[in-house]
Amino acid sequence: MSHVENLWEIPKVQLNEERLIDLDNQLKERLVLIQSRFGDVRFATSLAAEDMAVTHGISKNARSIQLFTLSTGRLHSETVEMVQQVEKYYGLNINRIEPINEDIGQFIEQYGINGFYDGEEAKKQCCYVRKVKPLEGALKGADAWITGLRRSQSVTRDELHFEELDEQRGISKFNPIFDWSDDDLWAYLLFQKVPLHPLHLKGYPSIGCEPCTRPIRVGEDVRAGRWWWLNKESKECGLHLK
């Protein structure tokens, strides 16, 4: 189906086993280091490919790290089901963080149920009430948090580092696969037999809320399917802005 419609497909890459073992050891070392330095570490997962690589590493090497996902109320059904699948597969608990009903009501009253299509400001406000504000609650009391961000994902992420200061929240933020290439990521997932989000098989390289995410075609930027009605510099929801 993807081939007929010329949609993006999971890259078919092969790396030598030495490189794959090096990646596994690298991820282990980074997660163990984070776990050893901080008492309360939390990992925000969207269940997409990058986050599944980090989840796999946590399950093997750093199980004191707490996992949570932002249940925005507008996720694909495949994402909701994926949370349960990952919990069962790894024997981990993923805390579902939901937005505040009153905040959603105020957004709808001001902008309409799908008002985020009207422009950048409305989109930012929707992301704020469904993702950014819930993240604040999810990280309350944490010493550090972890993401699955990579430099090669977007023009807005090309200056990522392993460790950063989340100035907005006043805690350390870690990106343990920040320097992994696309080939590194997909070859690692295959090598480790990591469960993949079903939307990756339907042309979605990036996964977010259902109305704001679409499949992309071959040759498009990997973030092109996120908020596609905005320019390429507007591909962030506010969770990771400095």
Residues with catalytic function: 237
Are the C-beta atoms of 30 and 176 separated by less than 8 Å? yes
How many other CB atoms are there within 10 angstroms of residue 74's CB atom?
A: 19
Among all chains, which residue has been given the structure tokens 């591909």?
A: 235
3-state secondary structure of 6: coil
Helix or strand (DSSP H, E) at 191: helix 182-191
Are the C-beta atoms of 149 and 48 separated by less than 8 Å? no
3-state helix, strand, coil in the chain (%, to 5): 45, 10, 40
Are the C-beta atoms of 53 and 177 separated by less than 8 Å? yes
> What string of DSSP letters covers 97-145?
E---HHHHHHHHHHH-TTGGGG-HHHHHHHHIIIIIHHHHHHTTT-SEE
CA distance 125 to 173: 23
Are the C-beta atoms of 119 and 125 separated by less than 8 Å? no
CA distance 104 to 124: 13
